[in-house]
C-alpha cells in the first residue's frame, strides 16, 4: 500500500524548503560580492602582467574607482591620501595660505589683479595693476604665473618681502605676512534701503552660520525690517552648518529636512536646536539653477514652513546627501548615502525648489558693450585714476566719464568688435579698407552710445581700486535685472 504524505508533512516540507531558499538568498549577496572582488583581482593582476607598458597601479586603481562612481552618479568620488587631507581644509572653506589676492599674467609680468578684503595684500596697500618684480629679493618679473603663485603661497605666518612696480608711481617695497585665505560664506552685505538689508550667502561650509548670523544682527541694528538673502550660486556644503544657519529664523526644534538611507533604521532628521535671532523678520530668498545642495535645503525648508518667499529661478535639484567613508590607508570615499526630503516630505531631485515669484531674465550685455568690458580699458583707466589721484575718496562725477572717454580713444586697438572677425576673409578686397574705417568710427561712438552702462562700470571699478567693495557690490546689485524686478513687484503691491 502506497504511503500518502499528510497535509501536515507537506506543509512542513514546503516551509523547510522556503527556509533553505531564504538562507541561500541571505548568503548570495556576500558570495556575489566576493566573487566580483575575486574577478577584479584577477583582472588587475592580468593587466599588470600582460599590458605592454608598465602600469602605475595606484593611479589605475584610483581612475577605476572614480570611473565606477561616475557611472553611479555625478556626486560620488574617491580621494587618495593627500586629497583626503586637503579636503579637511576645503570643508573649512580654507583655500590656501598666501597674500590674499588674485594675480594674472600680462606682458609686463605677473600683476596684482584684485586684493581681497582684510587680507595681507590689502593690509600692505597693494593695488590692482601692481607688477610683482621681486619676492624675498629674488627677481620674478620674467617668471611664469604658476612659478610666481608657488612663491606667494606657503606656510601661514611666514613673512614675504615684495618689490612691486606701481603704474604711474615707480618701485615700492612692501612686507606681508601670509594668512589663511578663506572662501567667505558671506562675501557681501549692506543696507539696501532704510528698512531692507541684503546678504549674499555663497556656501554652507564651516563658519557660514556664524557669518550669516553676524550679518543679520548688524543689519537689524542698522534698522533692517526685512531681509533679502541671495542664494544664487550657493554651492552648498554641510547640512549641519545649514541647519545652524536656519536656526536664526526658526523656533527651536523646527524640522529642516529628513534623510532616508538604504538601511531604514539609519534614517534621521535635522532639526534646529539653537535659539533664533528673529522668527518673524520677513525674508526674501533669491535663487537660480546654480543654487545647489544645502542651498536648496535652506530654501526648501523656509518655503515649506512659509517663513520666506522664493524669488528667481528654480534651484538645481540635487536632493542627495553624501557621506565620507575612510579606507584603511587614509584615503576616502565620498559617496551618496541618502536622499533628503523637505519638511513637507517633498523630494526635489531633478525638479529643484520652485520659486514663488519666477524670474529668469538675466542681465544681458550688448556685444559691442561687452567688447569694451573684455578689453580691460575700464580697469586700466581705474588703475591710472587711483595712482594719479591724491584724494582718499574717489570723485564719481561726470568729469570721470569725460576723462575715461579721452583715455578710451587712445586704446581703440584693444577693443575688438565682433565685426572685426570678417576682416581676414576680406583682406584681398577693397571692402576691407571700408570696413576698417567703419569699425574705427563705430568704436569712437561707443562711449556715448553706452554712456549710462559705462558710467556704472566705471564707478564700480574706481570704487574697487579704493577698496570700497561694499559700495561697488551695492551699486552692481542696484543696477541688476533682479533688483528692478523686485522693485517693480514691491511697487505693484503698494
Domain boundaries, the chain: 96-182, 188-358, 367-493
Give me the architecture of the 188-358 domain, per CATH. Answer: Alpha-Beta Complex (3.90)
- Tell whether the model's pLDDT for residue 17 goes beyond 60: no
CATH class of 96-182: mainly beta
pLDDT at position 1 is: 46
pLDDT confidence tier of residue 377, bands split at 50, 70 and 90: very high
- Rounded to whole angstroms, the Cα distance separating 104 from 145 reads 7
Domains 96-182 and 188-358 share a fold: no
- CB contact set of 142 (below 8 Å; sequence gap of 6+): 109
**Taking a C-beta distance cutoff of 8 angstroms, is the pair 76, 338 a contact?**
no
> What cell numbers appear for 319 in the block?
536632493
Average confidence (pLDDT) over 237-241: 95
Give the 3-state secondary structure of residue 267.
Answer: coil
pLDDT at position 29 is: 84
Average confidence (pLDDT) over 306-327: 96
pLDDT tens figures, 420-477: 776 676 566 666 777 788 889 999 999 999 999 999 999 999 999 999 999 999 999 9
Indicate the helix (H) or strand (E) that contains 250: none
> Quick one: which of 204, 396, 158, 380 has its CA closest to 299?
204
Indicate the helix (H) or strand (E) that contains 406: helix 398-409
pLDDT tens figures, 81-112: 999 999 988 888 888 999 999 999 999 999 99
Stated pTM of the model: 0.88
pLDDT at position 14 is: 46
Give the 3-state secondary structure of residue 215.
Answer: helix
Average confidence (pLDDT) over 217-226: 98
Amino acid at each position: 500500500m502506497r504511503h500518502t504524505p499528510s497535509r501536515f508533512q507537506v506543509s512542513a516540507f514546503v516551509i523547510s524548503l522556503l527556509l533553505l531558499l531564504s538562507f541561500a538568498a541571505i548568503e548570495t549577496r556576500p558570495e556575489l560580492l566576493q566573487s566580483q572582488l575575486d574577478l577584479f583581482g584577477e583582472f588587475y593582476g592580468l593587466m599588470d602582467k600582460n599590458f605592454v607598458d608598465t602600469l602605475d597601479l595606484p593611479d589605475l586603481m584610483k581612475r577605476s574607482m572614480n570611473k565606477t562612481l561616475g557611472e553611479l552618479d555625478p556626486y560620488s568620488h574617491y580621494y587618495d591620501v593627500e586629497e583626503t587631507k586637503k579636503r579637511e581644509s576645503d570643508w573649512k572653506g580654507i583655500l590656501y595660505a598666501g597674500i590674499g589676492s588674485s594675480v594674472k599674467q600680462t606682458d609686463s609680468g605677473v600683476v596684482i589683479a584684485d586684493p581681497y578684503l582684510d587680507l595681507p595684500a590689502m593690509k600692505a596697500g597693494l593695488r590692482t595693476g601692481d607688477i610683482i618684480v621681486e619676492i624675498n629679493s629674488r627677481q620674478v618679473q620674467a617668471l611664469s604665473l604658476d612659478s610666481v603663485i608657488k612663491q606667494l603661497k606657503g606656510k601661514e605666518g611666514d613673512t614675504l618681502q615684495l618689490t612691486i612696480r606701481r603704474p604711474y608711481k615707480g618701485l615700492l617695497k612692501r612686507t606681508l605676512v601670509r594668512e589663511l585665505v578663506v572662501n567667505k560664506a558671506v562675501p557681501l552685505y549692506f543696507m539696501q534701503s532704510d528698512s531692507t538689508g541684503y546678504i549674499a550667502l555663497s556656501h554652507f561650509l564651516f563658519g557660514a552660520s556664524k557669518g550669516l548670523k553676524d550679518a543679520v544682527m548688524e543689519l537689524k541694528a542698522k534698522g533692517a525690517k526685512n531681509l533679502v538673502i541671495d542664494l544664487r550660486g550657493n554651492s552648498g556644503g554641510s547640512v549641519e552648518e545649514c541647519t545652524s544657519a536656519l536656526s536664526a529664523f526658526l523656533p527651536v526644534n523646527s524640522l529642516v529636512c529628513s534623510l532616508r538611507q538604504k538601511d531604514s533604521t539609519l534614517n534621521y532628521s535635522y532639526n534646529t536646536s539653537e535659539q533664533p535671532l528673529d522668527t518673524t523678520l520677513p525674508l526674501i530668498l533669491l535663487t537660480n539653477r546654480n543654487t545647489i545642495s544645502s542651498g536648496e535645503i535652506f530654501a526648501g525648508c523656509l518655503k515649506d514652513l512659509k517663513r520666506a518667499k522664493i524669488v528667481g529661478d528654480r534651484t538645481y535639484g540635487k536632493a542627495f546627501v553624501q557621506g565620507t567613508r575612510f579606507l584603511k590607508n587614509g584615503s576616502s570615499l565620498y559617496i551618496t548615502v541618502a536622499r533628503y526630503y523637505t519638511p513637507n516630505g517633498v523630494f526635489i531631485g531633478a525638479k529643484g525648489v520652485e520659486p514663488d515669484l519666477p524670474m529668469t531674465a538675466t542681465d544681458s550685455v550688448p556685444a559691442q558693450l561687452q567688447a569694451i568690458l573684455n578689453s580691460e580699458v575700464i580697469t586700466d583707466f581705474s588703475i591710472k585714476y587711483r595712482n594719479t589721484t591724491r584724494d582718499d575718496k574717489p570723485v564719481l562725477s561726470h568729469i570721470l566719464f569725460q576723462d575715461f572717454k579721452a583715455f578710451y580713444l587712445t586704446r581703440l586697438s584693444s577693443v575688438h568688435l565682433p565685426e572685426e572677425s570678417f576682416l581676414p576673409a576680406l583682406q584681398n578686397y577693397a571692402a576691407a579698407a571700408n570696413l576698417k574705417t567703419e569699425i574705427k568710427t563705430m568704436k569712437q561712438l561707443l562711449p556715448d552710445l553706452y554712456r549710462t552702462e559705462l558710467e556704472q562700470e566705471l564707478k564700480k571699478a574706481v570704487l574697487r581700486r579704493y577698496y570700497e567693495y561694499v559700495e561697488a557690490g551695492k551699486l552692481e546689485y542696484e543696477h541688476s535685472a533682479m533688483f528692478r524686478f523686485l522693485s517693480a513687484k514691491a511697487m505693484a503691491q503698494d
